Chains A and B, each alone.
Chain A
């Protein structure tokens, strides 16, 4: 097990290295095609040669390779990796705030959002998936299946748009009339984030984001539980005379939860992208919201730093999921 963990972690680090290289090549290519972003610093003004050089130095853009199309710029890449190692993911264009600093102030709200998202995944996915498996081929199964198709048909973006512009305003008004404007239900349906009530205003967006991911969970839970319904040990348990509820909870659901863990890995990456849309549309001050704003304002250095940082997060989650899978399922071989 120890060597498996070490190997998986090393493999993850190597992948991360390649991801950083890919991102570096893309941004370098953009600089070579677009012209040096140091010029953007001056806006309308025409800088002198020495001013330009100073700004280029400040943003580490002074290497001549940035002028040569097709040059992979290995030296700046090494410098950038070194900066990443020291926790430096760049600054915004004005240079007064580090990306890591911005992320640190924004992360709590994203964590709140993901808490709600995870709870939604577990409750909606496990509950509906188990129900569908239990009533296979009957009405509950068919309706849950239609529901998951419907969920797939509403991408996060559309779901939030419909919620924010069509549902939230009248519902909030109605709640306001009934409960007053400081009550929890009223805050819950506020169409945009309120930093004074970070939990209340994050519940509905988080739930919607969670619902969009839960279709995958529903299908997976259903499939893996169906497999277990006919397993030998379930028949044994029934033959021993165990009650239906006990067999379902302790034999079927427990054993079919293992493959569901792996789903977290790939649904998580989608949810992270979804978080960008959710936080952007609902004005939540979180990591995704930062990225959304940076894209709108063309803060390229912030976008690049954030995407690198989020890639680290995705990779860490993937490695953790793999390790959890190995730890949970003794049949997984470690070689």
Chain B
């Protein structure tokens, strides 16, 4: 028992070594060992950088189009339009680069606010039960009956004529509000379930006995444990919203021109694929698929790493 290595181990443990490394550090270690995860993370990081700093990748203004230069084929490194130009003579590379931002920003806003709503409503419902729980659970059920895309189709087409202005955020506002309205239910359910599971554990009871307030118990003791399953949902959810945005843009009711998004580019170029200009469709499609695939791979790996039941 007095063996020095054992003592060292005990010391390390009581200093929170392996305990603090628990779920998250363990998850990070497993994740960083998988090549597919690293590639996916690099791809996602690349597109995030593109969305955040578009001017790093192109100096051309995506909105300055010269109709005389329409439908130039990709010139790669030999001309001013590496990926060629589209129907209206706009530089395709510039459009691709500037089109990343609306998709990613929208997805970040929607998933961020849905998770926030889910955390608040889920923990309130799970912690207090009673009337709050009845109302929240019923609301979840009601919103789940209308599939996300159908709801978006309905709401965006009835509010089509409402003008939110032309700013970057204003263009994103309608789809962001609608998608958030119909995307919070999953997180609420997950958080509620794990709060229910956690709230009667010994350490939570101990905190309550010590006189901790409800808020402190929820934020310091319950939520940190409830947050892992929700985190695992996030990459896949972001991918889903990016796909939904592309679909809505294709229908002309998502992010709308003159704003640029991959969905709009895809929608504008479908007819030209068989007409001899396949690059117009292939470039935005490749960007969309690469982003979604990378996020799905990350989400799948994260689900594995954070769900101890699957090990």
Contacts and interface: CB of A to CB of B under 8 A. Distances in A.
Count class of interface residues, chain B: 35 or more
B138 A15 contact: yes
A313 B157 CA distance: 21
Contact of B250 (A18, A22, A157): A157
B146 A153 contact: no
A33 B174 CA distance: 14
A158 interface: yes
Contacts, number: 127
Interface string B276-311: 000001000100110011001100100000000000
Interface in A124-168: 145, 149-150, 152-155, 157-158, 161-162, 165-166
A277 interface: yes
Contact of B142 (A18, A153, A276, A291): A18
A311 B146 contact: yes
Contacts of B281: 161, 165-166
B274 interface: yes
Given A149-B297, A152-B296, A298 B147 contact: no
B105 interface: no
A300 B274 CA distance: 33
A158 B288 contact: yes
B252 A296 contact: yes
A320 interface: no
B153 A150 contact: no
Given A34-B162, A303-B157, A307-B150, A295 B142 contact: no
A115 to B, nearest CB: 20
Contact of A314 (B147, B162, B266): B147
Q: Tell me whether chain A's interface is mostly helix, strand or loop, or mixed.
A: helix
B138 A18 contact: yes
A149 B296 contact: yes
Nearest to A168: B274
Interface of A: 15-16, 18-19, 22-23, 26-27, 30, 33-35, 145, 149-150, 152-155, 157-158, 161-162, 165-166, 169, 269-270, 272-274, 276-277, 280, 291-292, 294-296, 298, 300, 303-304, 307, 310-311, 314-315, 318
B215 interface: no
B292 A155 contact: yes
A34 B146 CA distance: 23
A23 B236 CA distance: 28
B158 interface: yes
B154 A26 contact: yes
Contacts of B158: 26-27, 30, 34, 300, 303-304
B246 interface: yes
